[in-house]
Amino acid sequence: MTTQFRLPAALAMLCAVAAPISALAKAPAARSAIAADPLAKLTLDIPYTRMVLKNGLTLIVHEDHSAPLVATNIWYHVGSKDEPRGRTGFAHLFEHLLFNGSENFNDDFFKATQKIGATRQNGTTSWDRTNYFEVVPKNALDAILWLESDRMGHLLGAIDQTRLDEQRAVVKNEKRQGENRPYAKAQEILIRALTPQGHPYDHNVIGSMEDLNAASLEDVRAWFKGYYGPSNAVLTLSGDITPGEALAKVERYFGDIDPGQPVAHPKVWPIDRTGTVRQTVTDRVSQARLIRAWNVSDYGAPDTSYLEILAEVLAGDRNSRLTKRLVIDERRATEVSVGVDDREIGGQFIIDVMIRPGEDAARVEAVVDEELKRLIAQGPTAAELQRVRTRHVASQVRAFESISAKADLLSQSQTYLGDPGGWKNRSRRFREATPAEVQGAAKKWLSDGDLVLTFLPSGALGASAPIERKAMPQPGAMAPAVFPAVERATLANGLKLVVARRAEAPIVRMSMLLNTGIAPDFARIAPGTGSLALDLLGEGTTTRTGAELTEAFNALGATFSASGGGETSQLSLSAIKPTLPQALALYADIMMHPAFAQSDIDRLKAQTVADIVSGRDNPTRIASRLLPRLAFGADSPYGRMVTEESIQSVARADLAAFHDRWFHPDNATLIVVGDTSLAEIRPLIEAAFAGWTGAGRGGGHAPELLTPVAPPLTKPVVYLVDKPGTPQSVIQAVTVAPPRKDGDEIPREIFNMAFGGDFVSRLNMKLREEKGWSYGARSRYSSARGSRLFSAGGSVQTDKTAEAMVETAKLLTGLAESQPITATELANVQGSMTLSLASEWSSGGRIVAYLVDQSVNALPDNYYAHYDARVKAQTLVAVNEVARSVGTAVPIWVVVGDRSQIEAKVRATGLGEVRVIDADGKAVLP
């Protein structure tokens, strides 16, 4: 769990399908130091050069020479709104087909990109566009441009009926996976209630099963010829490249592609509605949910920006109107999200409330109505707009650290607005909007025509001459990635300081790590105590309420989060450099002086309990929660389960004791990454934490820690959890793995990448690409200082549950028999791991993550400085030693699905004794 001050999460399930910013010592003094608009002087820009090839391809180039990387980003101006009647879901199906090979590279696209070190790669489809993106080392730019141009201009010869059927099965399982989540009916209901038949948005992006089944090869050819020409595309290159270099390469690889047919795009078409439509759905969920939605203006309209501001005023942070009233003050809800689904020709404004168990949905709806009407009648305050403005600027500063994010924004602006710099108008509206403008947009769009949806628990172009493209250009030599230099120090109070400088953006990130490990008396401490204590840190200190903290962080453009509570706890700060001293004062206050107010304790306990209850509606969460208990046992510190009873038993004294026991500077490491140095940041930290001593308030120090080591599993058992009516089953095969050791961890990483840790791994290629039974299957090692879990599996269609288990078992046992990791797999994974390092280390956030890993696992100080060489030095013998240990281990299985449909065949697999249990691991009688 985390406590965060940031923009609310997007309503992803309601939007597009996607695979895809000297005052320190005393707190009160810092409060007065916050300026009205501390980020007003920051200038945000993405310089670019735009060019158009003879065949109509728009090329946009942004130079950023901070790392030897280039982000490639292609937007095709076609989405589900362009689909003909009877072919819904085709845009998304076609997106999948583009990853299956082209005429000159007739194999899985990710197999090629793995070899050239591509990262942050995917493709996504929305109502309005389809995009493909990746980040590559500069020396691999020719290779990725060759690949992208080959699938743009030379695709049809590689698509046959077998390949179409394969990807159709994958997409159908993606659809089933979406339908297997709680509240899955919401999107379809919103579409049918708010969108008339015949409007381009009258169906969802993933389409219907009937239409997917009807798609033919002729449809594929027509779609490709109609929409995938260069004249309907935008290619953005962002990174270590000049416009001249870019144009020469793009003309070489894309210039000979036929322009394609002219495309007529639908005009702006917002949907006017009057009256209120009400729908109530009884579903297999544990928590009631209220959704209100209105049709609103299009992506480029000023009103859309004003409505986005309004959404922030309603639910942007804990002080926003709906969150404060429903979650904080009246405690009628556990979560409130408000957002704008800003589509190209007309969007939707959505209010989404998770209702606290036992609360009246009608009363929650009344509160939403009261607050919305008040805002429409009176408008937002100037202070509210200032908070939104500061958060917006700070988030953009963080986003612009990424060449990939900048490329995507340029492509989006060109595609929807006809101008790569069009995003500036939207940003300017956030910075300059008046209360009257926001109020006017609210009156115009939100006064009428809404849906109230309540979920209740149940029961003239040309082309250049052709080029030779039979072979993909091979990347040239690339220098090893360089991990930033790290400075270290230990302060007088024992706090260890680790600093890495990154001056590309005016951002400083901090992560305080505390060894909140497993003490000898762990059994007397209620499970969930640590995570609850961390959640409460941002809820107030002895000098500031939670509302005041939120207000202060927002005013500074800073964010705070806390997570962990297990073997490691992490408290993170992200600050814009001009406001770093004030943000650091808040950070230190939270660390040293938590209030643990009883009212906040009661509220967060209720929210945690509601989350536990709702987790039983989600098959994936059920499996994840059960795995440690079933593998390690209920008496192991790793097998203890957070329950409603354990959370309710936690008292304020327990939370204070957790803080007193673990929050000592000599038990902490502060990692700092960003636009600063040890010499610059050290005095600021010493001043901020001047009162933090080596002992807790009780006078003690952190206890010695246990490192639990569990024996291997000895009896194969299949644990079956009944989830009636689910279209998919979750399957996981689990074995016990030894603790992490410096010497054998890289071979484990390589093995896992080859077996199930990557898209082109054995497990995913078998269950997704070859069999078509799953949208995706993966393997992973869990994180722990002691024994860990190795798990392999995913969500599979219900009627192939047993078959998928058998295939997974064959892959596992084959590791110790006739299918060890091959030399080709080793070379491919080594290349992928090393070539991707430059991208991995190109942002401050990722550098923090690597330094956290280094600290938590007590790795040598130079571990990542020499990581490239360590990976390249691994042998096939070492990797297959790990593979054999996995292949010979006895697994247990966790299967969550519709028992009535799968039990007989699961028993017939012979993979182990079948035991039926509930979502808490308790035995269920036959």
**Span 86-109, pLDDT tens digits:** 999 989 998 999 999 999 999 999
Mean pLDDT score, 845-871: 93
In the structure, what pLDDT confidence band is assigned to residue 24 with cuts at 50, 70 and 90?
A: very low
Asked if pLDDT for residue 762 goes beyond 80, the answer is yes
Partnered with residue 915 across adjacent β-strands are: 719
In the structure, what pLDDT confidence band is assigned to residue 461 with cuts at 50, 70 and 90?
A: low
In CATH, 717-917 is 3.30.830.10: yes
Mean pLDDT score, 381-403: 93
3-state percent helix, strand, coil for the chain, nearest multiple of 5: 45, 20, 35
Spell out the residues 6+ positions from residue 910 whose beta carbon is closer than 8 angstroms to its own. none
Positive or negative: CA dihedral 331, 332, 334, 335:
negative
CATH class of 269-398+417-457: alpha beta
CA-closest candidate to residue 478, choices 826, 747, 240, 249? 240
Q: 138 with 104: CB under 8 angstroms?
A: no
Mean pLDDT score, 887-900: 97
Q: Is 360 exposed, middle or buried (CB count within 10 Å of its CB: 0-12, 13-18, 19+)?
A: exposed
Q: Outline where 815-875 has alpha helix (H).
A: 823-835, 837-840, 844-856, 867-872
Positive or negative: CA dihedral 40, 46, 47, 49:
negative
Q: What pLDDT shows up at residue 17?
A: 35
Mean pLDDT score, 633-649: 95
CA distance 691 to 25: 8
Average predicted confidence (pLDDT) for the chain: 91
Q: What pLDDT shows up at residue 693?
A: 84
Mean pLDDT score, 494-522: 93
In the structure, what pLDDT confidence band is assigned to residue 12 with cuts at 50, 70 and 90?
A: very low
Chain-centroid distance, C-alpha 254: 32
CA-closest candidate to residue 33, choices 572, 672, 578, 432? 578
Estimate the crossing angle of helix 546-556 against helix 382-399, to 10 degrees.
60
Q: What pLDDT shows up at residue 463?
A: 65
| Tens of pLDDT, residues 601-638 | 999 999 999 999 999 999 999 999 999 999 999 999 99
Percent of the chain at pLDDT > 90 equals 80
In the structure, what pLDDT confidence band is assigned to residue 13 with cuts at 50, 70 and 90?
A: very low
| Right CATH for 49-254 from 3.30.450.20, 3.30.830.10, 1.10.150.530, 3.90.180.10 | 3.30.830.10
Mean pLDDT score, 466-489: 81
CA-closest candidate to residue 754, choices 766, 739, 742? 766
Asked if pLDDT for residue 925 goes beyond 90, the answer is no
Q: What pLDDT shows up at residue 29?
A: 34
| Tens of pLDDT, residues 69-89 | 999 999 999 999 999 989 999
From residue 102, give the alpha-carbon distance in Å to each of 72, 111, 472, 488, 592. 18, 13, 12, 50, 59
In the chain, list all ranges with CATH 3.30.830.10. Answer: 49-254, 269-398+417-457, 486-688, 717-917
- Token digits of residue 700: 């003690």
Asked if pLDDT for residue 20 goes beyond 90, the answer is no
* Residue carrying the six token digits 């809800």: 333
Percent of the chain at pLDDT > 70 equals 94
Cα-Cα-Cα-Cα torsion 594, 595, 596, 597, nearest 10 degrees, comes to: -160
The dotted CATH code for 486-688 is 3.30.830.10
Spell out the residues 6+ positions from residue 856 whose beta carbon is closer than 8 angstroms to its own. 513, 567, 568
In the structure, what pLDDT confidence band is assigned to residue 18 with cuts at 50, 70 and 90?
A: very low
From residue 622, give the alpha-carbon distance in Å to each of 180, 582, 613. 13, 42, 11
Asked if pLDDT for residue 26 goes beyond 60, the answer is no
Q: What pLDDT shows up at residue 465?
A: 64
Which pTM was predicted?
0.85
CA-closest candidate to residue 589, choices 558, 620, 612, 616? 558
DSSP 693-761: -SS-TTS--PPP-B---PPPP-S-EEEEEE-TT-SEEEEEEEEEEPPP-HHHHHHHHHHHIIIIISTTS
Mean pLDDT score, 168-181: 86
The length of the chain is 926
Q: What pLDDT shows up at residue 173?
A: 86
Q: What pLDDT shows up at residue 14?
A: 36
| Tens of pLDDT, residues 513-562 | 999 989 888 999 999 999 999 999 999 999 999 999 999 999 999 999 99
Q: 750 with 824: CB under 8 angstroms?
A: no
Positive or negative: CA dihedral 583, 322, 294, 16:
positive
Partnered with residue 354 across adjacent β-strands are: 289, 335
